[in-house]
Amino acid sequence: MLISTAHAQQAAAADPTGGLMQMLPIILMFVVLYFLMVRPQMKRAKEHKALLEALAKGDEVVTQGGVAGRITKVGDSYVALEVADKVEIQVQKPAIVLVLPKGTLKNL
């Protein structure tokens, strides 16, 4: 007899939790990641979009590069900033990061 008899092994006991406990740390990590990183970033992006849509002539703003000026013209993608007396520059709207209170830039 060249072939030996094969004996069936017993089936492994079923996990009562169904493997959920193994996946729980990964699921928890994604939930924490969402609330600590993704959600605040989406909130900031929404606030910046509202700021850009509300820009109007006469607003005093600061750009990403630190240039402060008063808006003289508002276009679809660009705004004209008066940075000194009779000196205007064109900047892209997304470069504006802060709208200052009226009267902050007194020398313009």
pLDDT tens digits, 17-66: 667 788 899 999 999 999 999 999 999 999 999 999 999 999 999 999 99
Q: Is 28 helix (H, G, I), strand (E, B) or coil?
A: helix
Per CATH, domain 23-100 is 2.30.30: yes
Domain limits of the chain? 23-100
Give the global pTM.
0.70
Q: For the sheet containing 68-74, what is the strand order? A: 87-92, 78-84, 68-74, 60-63, 96-100
